[in-house]
């Protein structure tokens, strides 16, 4: 049985003072929740703080992006090795906000996915369709294309060391999450797509749902057979809300 995983994505939020309160609240809230895994992905400047405060707890930490280059004259870039230096476990790759606002592509996301794996990090590879694409019945085409960008290049077997995340763009940062049934339908499609290449990998890879996950809808989402946890945005900024989602994962 796949173990549930809840990852908080702080996005471009936080401060040293706010983080200290958030991290302490999350660590205390999940300290006795041993049936699932938990992590917070923080902005680069706060990785040192995350490592200092959360090491030894049952909360892992990670980054929200990385550069595919190991060592290069790239001003402002952060390499996989730098994330390893700060004890990161996870790194988010291909988030919809970066695809849309920073023009990242399937190709660049796939390259960073592989770079993360080579460094010993666990990439959280994001996929999802826009409102227009869903209304045009293109969901499976778009999600399948994004998933295939890594499977074609590197093979399905590498997914045993990764996490997949379905985040419909029309639900991210809104108050209109996908229903558990809508999310399950796409998660099932993703698992079947992986199974075409390797059935064992498909059975074991964890697929998270991201898009307005809250304490209220988390139990119904986590009850779906192909939803293995959540990639949480807004509710990861407040310890009580995030811990509530973690409690739902722990109870499944």
Q: What is the pLDDT of residues 70-126, one digit of tens each?
A: 888 899 999 999 999 999 999 999 999 999 999 999 999 999 999 999 999 999 999
pLDDT level of residue 235 (50, 70, 90 thresholds): very high
The Cα–Cα gap between 30 and 38 comes to 8
Give the pLDDT of residue 72.
85
Give the pLDDT of residue 245.
98
Residues forming beta bridges with residue 6, ordered by sequence position: 38, 230
Residue-wise DSSP of the chain: -PPEEEEEE--S---HHHHHHHHHHHHHHHTT--SEEEEEE--GGGHHHHHHHHTTSSEEEEES---S-SS---TT---HHHHHHTT--EEEES-HHHHHHS---HHHHHHHHHHHHHTT-EEEEEE---HHHHHTT-HHHHHHHHHHHHHHHH-GGGGGG-EEEE--TTTTTSS-PPPHHHHHHHHHHHHHHHHTT-HHHHHH-EEEE-SS--TTTHHHHHTSTT--EEEESGGGGSHHHHHHHHHHHHH-
**Token representation of residue 228:** 């293995």
Nearest one of 223, 158, 34, 221 to 232, comparing CA atoms: 221
In this structure, are residues 186 and 126 in contact, taking their beta carbons and an 8 Å threshold? no
Give the pLDDT of residue 87.
98
Give the pLDDT of residue 233.
95
Read off the pLDDT of each residue in 30-58 and give the average, rounded to a whole number.
98
pLDDT at 52 over 80: yes
Alpha-carbon distance values, 76 to 35, 42, 44, 182, 185 (Å): 38, 17, 11, 39, 39
Is 95 noted as a catalytic residue in this protein? yes
pLDDT level of residue 252 (50, 70, 90 thresholds): confident
Read off the pLDDT of each residue in 49-60 and give the average, rounded to a whole number.
98
Q: Residues 104, 129, 167, 187: which is the catalytic one?
A: 167
The Cα–Cα gap between 244 and 221 comes to 14
Each residue's pLDDT tens digit, 130-171: 999 999 999 999 999 999 999 999 999 999 999 999 999 888
The Cα–Cα gap between 76 and 84 comes to 17
Is 216 noted as a catalytic residue in this protein? no
**Token representation of residue 65:** 């992006």
Task: Say how many C-beta atoms besides its own lie within 10 A of residue 233's C-beta.
Answer: 21
Q: Residues 70, 95, 140, 157: which is the catalytic one?
A: 95
Each residue's pLDDT tens digit, 171-230: 887 778 899 999 999 999 999 999 999 999 999 999 999 999 999 999 999 999 999 999
* Predicted TM-score of the model (pTM): 0.97
The Cα–Cα gap between 13 and 183 comes to 27
Nearest one of 92, 169, 80, 96 to 125, comparing CA atoms: 92
Give the pLDDT of residue 10.
98
């Amino acid at each position: 049985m796949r173990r549930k995983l809840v990852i908080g994505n702080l996005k471009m939020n936080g401060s040293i003072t706010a983080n200290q309160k958030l991290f302490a609240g999350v660590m205390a809230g999940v300290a006795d929740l041993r049936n699932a895994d938990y992590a917070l992905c923080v902005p680069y400047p706060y990785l040192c703080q995350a490592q200092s405060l959360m090491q030894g707890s049952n909360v892992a930490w990670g980054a929200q992006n990385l550069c595919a280059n190991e060592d290069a004259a790239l001003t402002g870039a952060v390499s996989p090795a730098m994330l390893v230096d700060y004890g990161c476990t996870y790194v988010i790759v291909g988030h919809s906000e970066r695809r849309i606002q920073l023009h990242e592509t399937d190709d660049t996301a796939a390259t960073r996915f592989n770079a993360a794996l080579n460094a010993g990090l666990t990439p959280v590879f994001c996929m999802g369709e826009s409102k227009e694409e869903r209304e045009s019945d293109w969901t499976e085409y778009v999600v399948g294309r994004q998933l295939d960008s890594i499977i074609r290049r590197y093979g399905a077997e590498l997914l045993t060391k990764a996490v997949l995340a379905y985040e419909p763009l029309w639900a991210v940062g809104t108050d209109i999450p996908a229903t558990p049934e809508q999310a399950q339908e796409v998660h099932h499609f993703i698992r079947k797509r992986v199974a075409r290449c390797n059935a064992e990998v498909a059975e074991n890879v964890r697929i998270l749902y991201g898009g307005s996950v809250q304490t209220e809808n988390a139990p119904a989402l986590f009850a779906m057979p192909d939803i293995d946890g959540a990639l949480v945005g807004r509710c990861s900024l407040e310890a009580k809300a995030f811990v509530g989602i973690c409690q739902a994962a722990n109870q499944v």
